[in-house]
Amino acid sequence: MYYRQAGTYRTDYAQDMRLLPLKEDRILLGVVLLAAFAVIPFTASDYWLSAILIPWLCLSLVALGQNILMGYAGQLSLGAAGFMAAGAFACWNFMHRVDWMPFPVAVFLSGLIAAAIGIVFGLPSLRVRGLYLAVATLASQFFIVWVIDKFGWFKDYDSSGIITAKDIVIFGKSFTSPAEMYLVVLTITVVLTWAAMNMARGSVGRNWQAVRDMDVAAEVMGLSLLRTKLQAFAISSFYCGVGGALFAFTYLKSVEPAAFDINLSFRVLFMVLIGGLGTIIGSFYGAGFILLLPVFLNIFFHALFGKAVDATITSALEQVIFGVMIILFMIYEPLGLAKLWQNFQERMRRWPFKF
Amino acid sequence: MNPEILFFFEVLLGGLLAGVMYSLVALGFVLIYKASSVFNFAQGAMVFFAVLSFVGFMELGLPFFLALLVTVGLMVLVGMATERFVLRPLVNQHEDTLLMATIGLAFVLEGLAQLVWGVEVRRLDLGIPDVPIMWIADATGIFVSALDLVAGLVAAVMVAVLAIVFSRTKVGLGLRAVADGHGAAMSIGIPLSQVWVFVWATAGIVALVAGMLWGARAGVQFALVGLALKALPVLIIGGFTSVPGVIVAGLIVGASEKLAEVYIGPYFGGGIEGWAPYMLAVLFLMFRPEGLFGERIIRRV
């Protein structure tokens, strides 16, 4: 095997602080990025781009946000969809009301708005944890969606209550084909993922993990719980808001508040649980899994019965499969798909030997 | 009496009686939490699963009591399966891990129920009319339905029985010991798996009762799961460990959400009911995190 961790000698601090210390990892990442930016936009079909890849990237961002809060900072939240809604509608309002605003700026600002709301709803986390906190975040879920639904201002008094996404224009160039939108989403995702990786391994991430592992101990060690927890809520909501804005503008296109219901929140939660708590890459695995399972189920049933099966049956079956997977992962591998992959890599490294 | 005051009392009473229904769902939750310190997120799903199965068996042609018996048996089976396949492998794990596992369980139960019985809305007729009782209406001018009164009565009886079981019997003592620590309880010879099967089966039966009352009111449908979610704020306000607290909190939540909907709702275009209980719970969390009757949580390093 060429992939080894042994034998990498670091001779200066810059090498020590690299994001990916292994040369093989860097090459792999380069190849993946090259494929994602230069090959996929030209080769993938429009269906794959707009029905699979774009929602996958958007939901990965949201899952990343949920993972920062749950996996790194240990704060259970069931409100991801609420913050997505906040981001989506904030972005629409920026684009709608300020003509000259470029799309990336609108997305960034809507992330900030989601973050501000996240801080407010994160306040209960200073007093409570676990299920108590989950109920408090449920309040945010229901409240945000209700506010957007009931106050016409957020939809500019549109009689149908549904907003329609505007074309994405950046510096005069419009990004409307699936491949172009995919590139926009991909760029934002890569930048934010890079930021998350650096936060997770730096002092910010270490503070989160200290709070997750034992908040009382972290406080005794001089860590400000107020700061750390609210920071986690803010950054998590920022990711959810940006993810939600992209989700609305590049995937859903026309959005009503009801699209961001509690079920979506649960889906995001499952992405994190199945993908891997406390790992960046796990958010991507989890989002991919949750998104692709229905597709595979459909193909499977098609092959089995020769015709499409009633959608209610597949969606019920989906629920059962998600539930069983969660239980199995909790029992056998609480760190999810990411950990399974890591175990596999380690096995391969010493293959064919057992130890 | 002044019609406005009368209307106020009517709304209040309607809210209180709706609150009793929330209490019934929350009761099963407290039962499991007190006996195993597991936050059972699946309680709402159990309500849905139980009543959908019950209606399903009735549709298959079983008479009322036979269907009831079969469903009770089914809920005991669900309790046993949960113990064997979910709880036993997770003994002594962190509370949050168990909570996630019960979220998984909730999805399994919801999915299974819909897979077996279908998704259409069903009516459930318990033979108790859901119309105002005339003689009360005539005497006081307030409209109360018989179903509401039955629900209140059932809740009161169940709470009384469970409170006595927990505080006065040996079984209850064992349950409280398990809640304090799985390992410690096992080491003094309490059969953990039997206790869990007992508790989950009981919670299943409580879920069935709650589901039947809910189903008779709102129809047997998936929306029951959403209604059951409102048991969570009830729990927070009442405290996770208190059986009487659940009733008091249920009444508070029911009354406040209906009053808010009727008197504040019109200013915002309605729909306050959907989130008012959760906001109330958040307020409680800020000032009294352990709830009205819960045990104070002390955390040490």
Taking the CA atoms of chain A, what radius of gyration do you get in angstroms?
21
pLDDT in tens, B221-244: 888 887 778 888 898 888 887 888
Asked if the C-beta of A311 comes within 8 angstroms of chain B's C-beta atoms, the answer is: no
Contact A266 B271 (CB under 8 A): no
B222: left (phi over 0), alpha (psi -120 to 50) or beta: alpha
Cis omega before residue A352 (within 30°)? Answer: yes
**pLDDT value, residue B276:** 85
Q: What residue of A is the nearest CA neighbor of B104?
A: A323
Which residue ranges of chain A lie beneath pLDDT 50?
Answer: 1
Q: Exposed, middle or buried by CB within 10 Å (0-12, 13-18, 19+), for B153?
A: exposed
**Residue B273: DSSP 8-state:** G
| CA angle (B78, B153, B213) in 5-degree steps | 45
Give which of A209, A241, A247, A248 is closest to A228, Cα–Cα: A209
Strands (E), chain A: 163-164, 168-170, 173-175, 254-255
Asked if the C-beta of B41 comes within 8 angstroms of chain A's C-beta atoms, the answer is: yes
Q: Is the pLDDT at B73 greater than 80, yes or no?
A: yes
pLDDT in tens, A37-69: 999 888 888 888 888 999 999 999 999 999 999
Task: Tell me the shortest Cα–Cα distance from A146 to chain B, in angstroms.
Answer: 8
ipTM (interface predicted TM): 0.86
Q: How many CB atoms lie within 10 A of CB B48?
A: 29
CB-based contact B25:B47 (threshold 8 Å): yes
pLDDT in tens, B146-198: 777 888 888 888 888 888 888 888 888 888 888 777 788 888 888 888 888 88
CB-based contact B206:B24 (threshold 8 Å): yes
Give which of B64, B74, B108 is closest to B207, Cα–Cα: B74
Asked if the C-beta of A10 comes within 8 angstroms of chain B's C-beta atoms, the answer is: no
CB-based contact B48:B75 (threshold 8 Å): no
3-state secondary structure of A173: strand
* Exposure string over A29-45, b if 16+ CB within 10 A, otherwise e: eeeeeeebeeebbeebe
State chain B's mean pLDDT as an integer. Answer: 84
**pLDDT value, residue A3:** 65
Interface test with A, best of B93, B103, B234, B279 (most A CBs within 10 A): B103
How is chain B split into domains, by residue range?
3-228
Q: What is the DSSP string of B117-173?
A: H-SS-B----S---SB-HHHHHHHS---BHHHHHHHHHHHHHHHHHHHHHHHSHHHH
Which of 1.25.10, 1.10.3470, 1.10.150, 1.20.1250 would CATH assign to domain A45-350? 1.10.3470
Q: How many CB atoms lie within 10 A of CB A52?
A: 16
Q: Is the pLDDT at B134 greater than 90, yes or no?
A: no
Q: Which of B95, B107, B232 sits opposite A130 (nearest CB)?
A: B95
Give which of B165, B232, B231 is closest to B199, Cα–Cα: B165
**pLDDT value, residue B72:** 95
**pLDDT value, residue B173:** 86
**pLDDT value, residue A163:** 81
CB-based contact B21:B217 (threshold 8 Å): yes
The counts of H helices and E strands in chain A are: 16, 4
How is chain A split into domains, by residue range?
45-350
Contact B285 A136 (CB under 8 A): yes
The tokens for A264 are 């979506």
Q: Is the pLDDT at B21 greater than 90, yes or no?
A: no
pLDDT in tens, B255-297: 888 888 888 878 877 778 888 888 888 888 888 877 787 777 6
Q: What residue of B is the nearest CA neighbor of A144?
A: B275
**pLDDT value, residue A2:** 58
Dist CA B263 CA B10 (whole Å): 13
**pLDDT value, residue A272:** 94
3-state secondary structure of A254: strand
Q: Work out the average pLDDT over B26-35.
A: 85
**pLDDT value, residue B297:** 67
**pLDDT value, residue B142:** 67
